Amino acid sequence: MSKETTLPTTAGQTSRTAAANLRLTDKQSEPDHRELRIDKVGVRGLRFPIVIRDKAHSTQNTIATISLYVDLPKEFKGTHMSRFIEVLNAHGSMIHVENIPDILHEMQRKLHAETAHLEMEFPFFLEKKAPVTGKVGVMDYTARFEAAACGRETDFVLTVIVGVTTLCPCSKAISRYGAHNQRGNVTVQIRSRQVVWIEDLIALVEASASSELYSLLKRQDEKAVTERAYENPVFVEDLVRNVALKLNAHPDVTWYKVEAENYESIHNHNAYACIEKG
């Protein structure tokens, strides 16, 4: 009879076998004895390609900076950070108002949380025609979604940041030649009963300023824009009031906050105003 041959086992093989059989320690799930609940824990500053719905082309591709959070009960040491990315990837790149509640509820389920939060900020692009020549240029704006779920209840806030031109009424009234003007930013945050298009909110803001901004202007266009601003002077106070009046008249807006900041051209400080309602 032939003897059964037994191959020698190396130390490396033994070590790899032991490692494969070892159960990995889950430190996050260990109990914590400090008795302190954490309101928000998660991932922040994640850059992610997304597809956003728009009115002109149905969708547009952009890149968002995303933050995802849940609450952490006092008895748990930590949360599982990788699960936030798993939830986001599972929903693909198409992000719109209708599927955000699904993402929030999936975070609650996967991370065993009572509350979930999603914040995403992204550049939003519009094609704009110059007022006289009709030359087309691309304008960029900043948009932000902030959503939260507590149990089955959800809350959603849309924010847009719109650059505008303002011309000072006081300067126009007291000056023999012209008036000082400046570029400013208007930040509008809203809650609404129905979806409000980003484009519509941008148009509402631009119609409230001395003039809107353009990326491409020829000489005839520049003349038209500067003259329009001169004919429509607004203080920063006028600007937020103009926007607020239009939001008051919107049938679907239930809450808003309007902030305007002018980067003054003849002062070393900025002018600021804010209105909140709801």
| Domains in the chain: ranges and CATH | 30-277 (3.10.270.10)
**pLDDT digits 0-9 by tens, 159-205:** 999 999 999 999 999 999 989 999 999 999 999 999 999 999 999 99
**So what's the pLDDT on residue 211?**
97
Q: Check: CB of residue 231 under 8 Å from CB of residue 166.
A: no
* Long-range contact set of residues 260-263: C-beta below 8 Å, sequence gap at least 24: 260/184, 260/185, 260/186, 260/187, 260/236, 261/184, 261/185, 261/187, 261/236, 262/166, 262/182, 262/183, 262/184, 262/236, 263/182, 263/183, 263/184
- Residue % of the chain over a pLDDT of 70: 90
Judge if pTM exceeds 0.75: yes
- Mean pLDDT over residues 47-56, rounded? 90
Residue keyed to tokens 């809650």: 191
* Alpha-carbon distances, residue 49 vs 42, 116, 220 (angstroms): 19, 21, 38
